[in-house]
């Protein structure tokens, strides 16, 4: 079994206010950007219906039929729990992560990443990213030469979680120069739990009516259809223990993008170590080049030895 832990490395909506944006050149990149979330480097942004509709259509056409036929459960029996999906809606790569940053909790969740797996599909999701308007919203927060670079696009899929696993997506040096975006494809408000837990900032006074308590404890962020949560470094978070109402055949699905600075040296030092492991088979670097991840290189080597990864055609 490929060790996921060993592969991993350091690891109404409000836009950033003008006062914060204008002060960024002199401010440390540990910023409280959203009045209602008492945590650093995180903001809620609107997710347009057109972007979600396009992402949902691709998911329903290319991926959902496989989930209804036990795709995620079947991966567990493989030495490397991954598969490629080929369809008219795009080509995707599935990696079962479980509780990916803690080997002891690996079986506590059925989380999987389903990423774009060729450049035509990547370009289709680049159009969805452009439709979202997120790049323009975060541009004042990111050190760029020409503009925001989209690194990877995928779906985060999960139907159960038995134990919280607090972690950060980005190393401390990233600040607000790279972000993760999560936006639900459907309305999951029907369950009280199974949302997002995050560590509230102890040093920040609670805002009246806010989500976080501001006391350094854990707070719940409730996913909302039409809203994305976007976060950089220093944001400790976890899936909240719980389960989807429909079980493994009807998991909760989130559109996910990673994106940020187009500065190559910064990317190689601070960003690549996080996203070049095993969440996807390929990614686009800060300079626009396409490269295989560590897992992608491993699979290529195995294919050269006559052991290609499993592949499922359209259902």
pLDDT of residue 91: 97
Mark out the alpha helices in the chain (DSSP H runs): 4-7, 18-22, 49-62, 64-67, 71-75, 119-132, 134-138, 264-266, 272-275, 294-304
pLDDT of residue 98: 55
Say if residues 161 and 248 touch (Cβ distance below 8 Å): no
Going across the sheet that includes 196-199, the strands are: 218-221, 196-199, 237-239
Nearest to 240 by CA among 220, 217, 256: 220
Q: For 115, how many CA atoms within 13 A lie in the half-sphere containing its CB? A: 25
Query: Measured between alpha carbons, how far is 9 from 205 in angstroms, rounded to an integer?
Result: 32
pLDDT of residue 315: 58
pLDDT of residue 222: 96
pLDDT of residue 20: 39
Max alpha carbon distance in the chain (Å)?
Answer: 61
Mean pLDDT by 10-residue block, N- to C-terminus, for the chain (315 residues)? 34 40 47 88 97 98 92 84 94 80 66 96 98 97 97 96 92 96 96 94 42 63 97 95 89 98 98 95 98 95 90 71
Query: Measured between alpha carbons, how far is 76 from 103 in angstroms, rounded to an integer?
Result: 14
pLDDT of residue 281: 96
Query: Measured between alpha carbons, how far is 275 from 263 in angstroms, rounded to an integer?
Result: 16
Global confidence as pTM: 0.85
pLDDT of residue 2: 35
């Amino acid at each position: 079994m490929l060790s996921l832990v060993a592969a991993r490395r350091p690891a109404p909506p409000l836009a950033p206010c003008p006062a914060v944006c204008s002060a960024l050149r002199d401010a440390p990149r540990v910023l409280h950007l959203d009045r209602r979330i008492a945590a650093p480097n995180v903001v809620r942004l609107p997710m347009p219906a057109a972007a979600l509709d396009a992402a949902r259509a691709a998911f329903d056409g290319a991926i959902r039929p496989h989930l209804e036929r036990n795709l995620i459960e079947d991966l567990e029996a493989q030495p490397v729990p991954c598969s490629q999906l080929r369809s008219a809606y795009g080509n995707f790569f599935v990696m079962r992560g479980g509780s990916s940053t803690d080997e002891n909790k690996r079986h506590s969740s059925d989380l999987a990443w389903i990423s774009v797996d060729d450049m035509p599909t990547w370009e289709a999701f680049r159009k969805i990213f452009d439709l979202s308007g997120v790049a323009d919203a975060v541009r004042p927060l990111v050190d760029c030469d020409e503009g925001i670079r989209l690194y990877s696009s995928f779906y985060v899929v999960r139907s159960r979680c038995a134990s919280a696993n607090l972690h950060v997506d980005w190393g401390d040096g990233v600040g607000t120069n790279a972000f993760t975006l999560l936006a639900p494809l459907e309305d999951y408000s029907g369950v009280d739990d199974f949302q997002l837990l995050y560590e509230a900032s102890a040093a920040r006074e609670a805002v009246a009516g806010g989500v976080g308590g501001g006391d350094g404890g854990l707070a719940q962020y409730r996913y909302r259809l039409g809203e994305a949560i976007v976060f950089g470094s220093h944001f400790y978070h976890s899936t909240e223990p719980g389960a989807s109402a429909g079980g493994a055949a009807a998991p909760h699905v989130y559109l996910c993008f990673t994106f940020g600075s187009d500065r190559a040296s910064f990317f190689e030092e601070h960003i690549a170590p996080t996203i070049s492991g095993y969440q996807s088979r390929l990614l686009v670097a800060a300079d626009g080049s396409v490269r295989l991840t560590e897992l992608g290189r491993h699979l290529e080597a195995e294919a050269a030895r006559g052991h290609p990864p499993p592949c499922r055609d359209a259902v």
